[in-house]
Amino acid sequence: MIPTISTIPIAELASGDILSIQVYKFVGAKPGKKAYLQANLHGAEIVGNAVIAQLIEFLKTLDDTQLAGEIWLVPTCNPLGTNQRSHHFSSGRYNHYDGKDWNRIFWDYEKEGEDIAEFAKTQLDLEPSQIRQNYRQKIKNCFDRAIEKIDKPSSVSFSDRYRYHLQGLCLDADYVLDLHSSTNQSIDYLYCFQGQEESARYFLLDASILFNEYDGNAFDEAFLKSWLALESEFEKLDRTLKLDVESWTIELGSGMQIDPDSVFRGVRGIKNYLAYKQILDISGFPLYQSFSQKVEFTPKSRVKGYYSSRGGMIRSRVDLGTCIQTGQLLYQILCFNKKGRLPEIIDVRAEASGRVFQVSTNHAVNEGEYVLGVMELSDK
């Protein structure tokens, strides 16, 4: 199968140069669902590019009868972020022009003030596929009105232009997969929305953060929230509706690195998920271990970041992935001072038991900087 490749200019720079994104579209012989994958929305998080490159290689080997529906892939989806450097490092988590986090800028249908409850009432007797189509059209109409602002003389900020480009590619998707990594050092895990736990297993990762709170306007949320809202409105009308629209942020290892193990797990999980969703018809998939895969779901409210209470140098830190007990020594801070005193060493201990899923790349900390993250166990 050969993909259709389209190139979309997204930023004319002051110099007259243009940055683009490029979409690789594989279209199956049979109709079906649409999966949308992108990678590298944050500048340092490059693993997903290697995953997508391998998926493209793999999909090229398939026959189009093995694909039902469409798979769209967008590697290096944020050129401004990917190419940004501060010294040798990839500092592109936020836009250096305005400080905006590249993954907190997305358009959220729910905030447009449309009456979803009213819409739900009009759809009560319809089939899910029809409802999906109608709602998608409704979202699309609203989106089209929103982007009209771009063409006015006052236009919109770059963040707004950019979000319309990316979201315009996946408004009609069924499954959205946004491939991230940690800014720092991390295990592989994924973010899971409530109600998607069953599907989550097919990514074959053993750790997941379960959204029980949102911090707003992330790509995965911006796509899914309006669908969750619709399902919730049906719930109120006493109809349980499952629309099979899903959104995933998959976290593959550490920033600025391409760990082959993370790439392997990323590719395997995505193939498995697409087979489970019957987009891909590939031999042996879904893998038999999918059915016994254990995923530890940690609610987001139980994910705890440890921030340094002092300025200094981190030492003796527990390793990434360690399971820790309450009271266990997590790390020490070597503190210098400019007050004529000797250096001192501060112990920092675990507040609760859990798993260290993330550690900072930088072992120097100003007061209040990030040191590590723990997926805490529940109290039971």
Q: Footprint of a copy of itself on residues 239-298 (CB under 8 A)?
A: 256-258, 260
Tokens at 305, concatenated: 């970041």
The answer to whether 103 contacts a copy of itself (rule: CB under 8 A) is no
Residue 8, phi then psi, degrees to nearest 5? -120, 115
Piece of 110-118, 266-274, 277-285, 346-354 that binds a copy of itself (CB under 8 A): 346-354
Q: Which of residues 10-39 bind a copy of itself (CB under 8 A)?
A: 11-22, 24
Q: Would you list the DSSP string of 82-96?
A: HH--BTTB--TTB-T
Count other C-beta atoms under 10 Å from residue 173's C-beta.
Answer: 23
- Cβ closest to a copy of itself, residue 202 vs residue 357: 357
Piece of 30-38, 240-248, 281-289, 363-371 that binds a copy of itself (CB under 8 A): 363-371
163 close to 107: Cβ distance less than 8 angstroms: yes
Residues 6+ apart with CB under 8 A from 341: none
Q: Would you list the DSSP string of 298-336?
A: EEGGGEEEEE-SSSEEEESPPPTT-EE-TT-EEEEEEE-
Distance CA 75, CA 40 (A): 7
Least spacing, CB of residue 242 vs a copy of itself, in Å: 32
Least spacing, CB of residue 190 vs a copy of itself, in Å: 22
Distance CA 304, CA 372 (A): 9
The answer to whether 75 contacts a copy of itself (rule: CB under 8 A) is yes
Least spacing, CB of residue 145 vs a copy of itself, in Å: 17
Q: Which of residues 138-157 bind a copy of itself (CB under 8 A)?
A: 150-157
The answer to whether 212 contacts a copy of itself (rule: CB under 8 A) is no
- Cβ closest to a copy of itself, residue 128 vs residue 327: 327
Residues 6+ apart with CB under 8 A from 95: 80, 81, 102, 158, 159
String marking each residue 171-190 x if it binds a copy of itself according to CB under 8 A: ------------xx------
Cis peptide bond N-terminal to 3, omega within 30: no
Near a copy of itself by CB under 8 A: residue from 30, 34, 100, 138: 100
* Collapsed DSSP state (helix, strand, coil) of residue 376: strand
Least spacing, CB of residue 92 vs a copy of itself, in Å: 8
- Closest of 361, 273, 263 to residue 49, by C-alpha: 263
Near a copy of itself by CB under 8 A: residue from 49, 123, 167, 186: 49
Near a copy of itself by CB under 8 A: residue from 72, 94, 109, 202: 94
Near a copy of itself by CB under 8 A: residue from 130, 212, 278, 337: 337
Distance CA 80, CA 102 (A): 10
Near a copy of itself by CB under 8 A: residue from 71, 324, 330, 375: 330
- Cβ closest to a copy of itself, residue 235 vs residue 367: 367
Tokens at 251, concatenated: 């976290």
Residue with tokens 């001072």: 337
Least spacing, CB of residue 172 vs a copy of itself, in Å: 23
Least spacing, CB of residue 308 vs a copy of itself, in Å: 7
- Cβ closest to a copy of itself, residue 91 vs residue 353: 91
Least spacing, CB of residue 263 vs a copy of itself, in Å: 8
Size of the chain in residues:
380
Least spacing, CB of residue 288 vs a copy of itself, in Å: 30
Q: Distance of CA 95 to CAs 5, 83, 305, Å?
A: 27, 12, 23
Near a copy of itself by CB under 8 A: residue from 41, 139, 224, 350: 350
Least spacing, CB of residue 211 vs a copy of itself, in Å: 19
Q: What is the DSSP secondary structure assignment for residue 44, as one 8-state letter?
A: T
- Cβ closest to a copy of itself, residue 36 vs residue 202: 36
Q: Which of residues 105-144 bind a copy of itself (CB under 8 A)?
A: none
Tokens at 18, concatenated: 């243009």
Distance CA 113, CA 219 (A): 19
